[in-house]
Amino acid sequence: YKTGAPGNPDTTNPVEVILDNNKITSLKFFTNAVNTVTQGVDFVANYYTSAIGKGRLGIIAAFNYNETKIVDNIAVPHILAENGYSENFFDRKEQSRITSARPKTKTILSLSYDISRFNFNLNNTYFGSVTWQHATDPAKDQTFSGKVVTDIVLTYKITKDLKVSGVVNNLFNIYPDVIDSKGDVVTDLGGRFKYPWEVNQFGFNGTIFQLNVNYTF
């Protein structure tokens, strides 16, 4: 926010008077400021066959596309609007959290094979690109490219009620694109983040191994 000369805040702005009196340099809060419209399409296809070997093969293909847009004007509280805070009340970065921080496209190809007490499952998931917008400077925006993440699960049914599973998430150790801060320390919090943290594309933990035991009773 803007103030007057050091030690002499602009007392004509009631917002800055409150901020200065409480020694507040910045703040964040929830607001019901925007109306949005989301449109998209989902497609899912399943196919199962027992014609391969002694087991049963299943194939699932799924595709999702959706786009969210902000419609109408952003509802800036009157006292903030009249004192010059309209542009940074719900800025470009906050808008991008709604419109571009999540993949518009997600595609899944899943293969499963059941034979005797074993089940093998292979999932390939394509997470589409996402875009992070800088609060004030479009030149510092960054688009993180789409990636395919592969997971495998091998399950053995010991009894009707007990089964054990070995899981490998992100088999090929895929990571998001690295942040290009373009000189802005806020973008990567001064180097504390290597991978995008203000968008929701997919995780940045790399390959994860799990052993699960399930008992139904």
Give the CATH number for residue 42: 2.40.170.20
Nearest to 142 by CA among 95, 107, 101, 185: 101
**What would the pLDDT profile of 122-155 be if each residue is shown by its tens digit?**
999 999 999 999 999 999 999 999 999 999 999 9
14 plus 40 within the same structural domain: no
Residue-range definition of the domain harbouring residue 158:
35-215
69 plus 157 within the same structural domain: yes
74 plus 165 within the same structural domain: yes
- In contact, 174 and 148? CB cutoff 8 Å: yes
**What would the pLDDT profile of 61-119 be if each residue is shown by its tens digit?**
999 999 999 999 999 988 888 888 888 889 999 999 999 999 999 999 999 999 999 99
Amino acid at 183: G
Distances in whole angstroms, Cα of residue 194 to Cα of each of 42, 157, 177: 33, 41, 9
136 plus 170 within the same structural domain: yes
Q: What is the signed CA dihedral for 126, 197, 144, 40, rounded to 10 degrees?
A: 50
Look-up: residue for tokens 């595709």? 63
First to last CA, the chain: 60
137 plus 41 within the same structural domain: yes
123 plus 19 within the same structural domain: no
- At 208, is the secondary structure helix, strand, or coil? strand
**What would the pLDDT profile of 4-53 be if each residue is shown by its tens digit?**
444 555 556 888 888 888 888 877 888 888 999 999 999 999 999 987 88
97 plus 3 within the same structural domain: no
25 plus 42 within the same structural domain: no
For the full predicted model, state whether its pTM sits above 0.75.
yes
Q: What sign does the CA torsion over 200, 205, 207, 209 have?
A: negative
86 plus 133 within the same structural domain: yes
What does residue 70 show for φ and ψ, rounded to 5 degrees?
-85, 125
18 plus 49 within the same structural domain: no
75 plus 25 within the same structural domain: no
